[in-house]
Structures are given as C-alpha cells and as structure tokens.
Amino acid sequence: MTRRTTSLTLDRITVKGLRARGRHGVLPAERELGQEFVVDATLFVDTRRAAAGDDLSCTVHYGELSEALVKVVEGEPVNLIETLAQRLADVCLDSELVREVEVSVHKPAAPIPLPFDDVIVTIRRSR
C-alpha cells in the first residue's frame, strides 16, 4: 500500500514596483534629501477559501497592504535597506493569512559613483 501525502502549495499575491519617497541611508545627504525606493512584495497565501466564496475578507487586500508598505518607506528613516526590508516583511506578516513573504527593496539612486541600474536587497520570511 502506498502512502499519499499532500502538501499545500501556497498561492502568491504580488505587489510589484510600489514607489515611495524615503530618507533611508547612512549618508547625511540621503537623510536630508531623500530618494525614491521601489518595493516588490510577494505574499504566500492559501487563496482557495477566498476564491470559493468570492470573499475579499478571506484573502489579503493588496490595496490596503500597499498603503501600509508606503507608510513604512515614508516613515522613520533607517541606515540600511536590509532593515527597511525587514520592517516591510513584518507588515506583510501582520496578516494571519500570510504564511511567507518575499520582499525586495530597490534603491535605484544609491550613492554609488559608477554606472549601475539598481541596488536590490531581497529577504524571505515566514511564520
């Protein structure tokens, strides 16, 4: 007799390219002038209940989540975008529905004296 195990494959809800102005960085000019940050957040959620009932209360409201993430970026400055990414992940994990989250923080205007496209820190956190 073969034993079957079922593992739950989680669905993904992604907000990509969310832009907000923040004053994060270690240099005084970054704190004084601020700059644009771009956030990508992927939430790993079981959306079957929401889909079955066509019920927003059974999933993550990505509009409200986006507003909360922007408040973090626009809020209290930190030195490292790693710290900012952790704060953003914590906001995503505030919802009991979110089992895991991957957050990328882009700093396209980072103070690097060479040609570059972007600086990105990506973290993955789970319950």
Active-site residue among 88, 107, 112, 127? 107
d(CA 27, CA 25): 6
16 is catalytic: no
- Domain 11-126 class in CATH: alpha beta
pTM of the model: 0.92
In sequence order, the 6+-apart residues with CB closer than 8 A to the CB of 75 are 22
Domain ranges (residues) in the chain: 11-126
Per-10-residue mean pLDDT for the chain, 127 residues long?
Answer: 60 98 97 97 97 97 98 98 98 97 98 97 97
Q: List all residues 6 or more positions away from 68 whose beta carbon is below 8 Å from its beta carbon.
A: 91, 94
Q: Phi then psi for 34, rounded to 5 degrees?
A: 75, 175
Q: How far is 52 from 89, CA to CA, in rounded Å?
A: 27
